Amino acid sequence: MKVLVLYDYPPSPGGLATQGDLLYKGLLEMGVDAHAVHFESAQEKEWYYRWFEPDVVVGVGYWGHTPQLVLHPQRYGVQPVPWLVADGYIANYQEVLNALPLILVTSNWVKEMYVRDGINSDIIEVLPVGCNTDSFIPFKKDDPKILAVRESLGVAPDQLMLLTVGGDAASKGAQEVMQALAIIDKKAPDWKYVCKVWPQPRTKAQNLIDLEMAVHLGIEKNVTYATNTISRSFMPYLIGACDIYAAPSRLEGFGMPQVEAGACGKPVVSIKAMGMLDTLIHGETALLAGVAQKIVVDHVTLGGESGFEAKHNVIFEEPRTVDYRANVQDIARYLMTLMTDAELRDKMGKAGRERVVENFDYRVVAKRFVQIMKDKLGIV
């Protein structure tokens, strides 16, 4: 089997790049003849098509990347298999995608979104995102690297550290977490809430809105926003420094940070919806808040990034749910439960670690990928 993997290569710290890179790493360790190339590098991709002659080109992205992941390899007679996430609504390329023999998606919820928006369910297979369980491991509290992370974030030794990681924090449910913390603040043990976000213009604007909310809630002294650029090498220690990973995400097709938190032996507070239904087990590895609100729209405005002309309006016959909001009262109750019960935190963290190693280790995912290629495409 010869596999060409298309993603943001060499990998940036982002989720899609990590998704592709871990599959590539797993395939190489299995002895599969594989190469990686940037999904937008037309010349280099063509170079691989010509001399490597891959059996399959697997490309990581979302439906809007169809030209790069599907149409480009098809132009050169190579079989594409896109491995896709969802962003709330699949607005274009249904005809192209339905003509494929196989599409991979990251969770059952993502599959539901593609089927809802016109993709044939028979060609869709769920392949979860891998996790490097050699890097994301439980650390001792007195590990110098863990102590250094907490100190750099201004977290006192006797404080409980709650953590949310994302491109921005609001999309990962940070506003709901802050509202919950304001409810339990006077009763809970001393805490610090750290939001690690990526430095970009959109994030800066959102940070100001989030921090303004923290001021209105009266918890701003206990909320820290970290906006530095960091590498994937630092992430295990950042997650390892927290006591609870809190991310009741508003839109999540898989939940990579939640899985990485589990690998680090951390209990997770999230939302009972979307990709988390695949990755987390309520009451065992995580506490999942109910859905308080679904954000529904009756139209979207798209452009060239989606294969349309600028300001193209799509009107839905039936309104679409494009975002979720977790129940704040549930979050408050679950946070309080975990913050006051160290034994439960440890128990759920250990269960989370076991689940990730068994189901989401990148080597497990690579083996699943190879088996799917054999079963669905006859590639060996």
pLDDT: which is higher, 202 or 126 = 126
Q: Among residues 211, 199, 200, 109, which one has the least CA distance to residue 170? A: 211
- DSSP E strands in the chain: the ranges are 2-7, 33-38, 56-62, 80-85, 103-105, 124-126, 160-165, 191-196, 223-226, 244-246, 268-271, 286-289, 291-302, 312-326
Both 236 and 278 in one domain: the answer is yes
Q: Looking at the predicted structure, is the pLDDT value of residue 30 above 80? A: yes
User: What pTM value is reported for the model?
Assistant: 0.94
C-alpha 90/C-alpha 119 separation (Å) is 9
Does residue 92 lie within any of the structural domains?
A: yes
pLDDT score at 201: 81
pLDDT band at 157 (very low <50, low <70, confident <90, very high): very high
Give Cα 219 distance to the centre of its chain: 28
C-alpha 58/C-alpha 42 separation (Å) is 15
Both 8 and 126 in one domain: the answer is yes
**Window from 174-183, 201-210, 233-242, 269-278 with minimum mean pLDDT:** 201-210
Both 82 and 160 in one domain: the answer is no
Both 186 and 229 in one domain: the answer is yes
Does residue 314 lie within any of the structural domains?
A: no
Does residue 304 lie within any of the structural domains?
A: no
Does residue 139 lie within any of the structural domains?
A: no
pLDDT band at 303 (very low <50, low <70, confident <90, very high): confident
Per DSSP, the residues of 121-142 read: GGGEEE-PPPB-TTTS----TT
Place of tokens 């979307």: 274
Does residue 306 lie within any of the structural domains?
A: no
Section 77-87 average pLDDT: 95
Does residue 316 lie within any of the structural domains?
A: no
Section 235-240 average pLDDT: 98
pLDDT: which is higher, 160 or 228 = 160
Both 166 and 36 in one domain: the answer is no
pLDDT score at 14: 87
Q: Among residues 285, 282, 283, which one has the least CA distance to residue 260? A: 285
**Window from 51-60, 167-176, 224-233, 316-325 with minimum mean pLDDT:** 316-325
Both 179 and 105 in one domain: the answer is no
pLDDT band at 9 (very low <50, low <70, confident <90, very high): very high
Q: Looking at the predicted structure, is the pLDDT value of residue 88 above 80? A: no
Per DSSP, the residues of 170-187 read: GGGTHHHHHHHHHHHTTT
375, amino acid identity: D
Does residue 322 lie within any of the structural domains?
A: no
pLDDT score at 190: 97
Give Cα 341 distance to the centre of its chain: 28
Both 69 and 183 in one domain: the answer is no
Does residue 102 lie within any of the structural domains?
A: yes
Domains contained in the chain, number: 2
pLDDT score at 308: 78
pLDDT score at 372: 98
pLDDT score at 374: 98
Both 48 and 178 in one domain: the answer is no
Q: Looking at the predicted structure, is the pLDDT value of residue 58 above 80? A: yes
Both 91 and 58 in one domain: the answer is yes
Q: Looking at the predicted structure, is the pLDDT value of residue 305 above 80? A: no
Q: Among residues 124, 5, 7, which one has the least CA distance to residue 55? A: 5
Query: What angle, rounded to 10 degrees, do the helices at 256-263 and 15-29 form?
Result: 60
pLDDT band at 35 (very low <50, low <70, confident <90, very high): very high
Q: Looking at the predicted structure, is the pLDDT value of residue 91 above 90? A: no
C-alpha 331/C-alpha 2 separation (Å) is 46
pLDDT band at 319 (very low <50, low <70, confident <90, very high): confident
pLDDT: which is higher, 319 or 120 = 120
Percent of the chain with pLDDT over 90: 85
Q: Looking at the predicted structure, is the pLDDT value of residue 327 above 90? A: yes
Q: 230 vs 18, 143, 166, 180, 243, CA distance in Å? A: 14, 20, 12, 28, 20
Give the residue numbers spanning the domain of 72.
Answer: 2-130+361-377
Tokens, residue 80: 């594409």
For Cα atoms 284, 286, 287, give the angle at the middle one, nearest 5 degrees.
Answer: 105
Q: Looking at the predicted structure, is the pLDDT value of residue 162 above 80? A: yes
Both 81 and 11 in one domain: the answer is yes
Q: Point out which residues pair with 81 in neighbouring strands.
A: 58
CATH code for position 36: 3.40.50.2000
Section 148-163 average pLDDT: 97
Both 354 and 370 in one domain: the answer is no
Both 124 and 159 in one domain: the answer is no
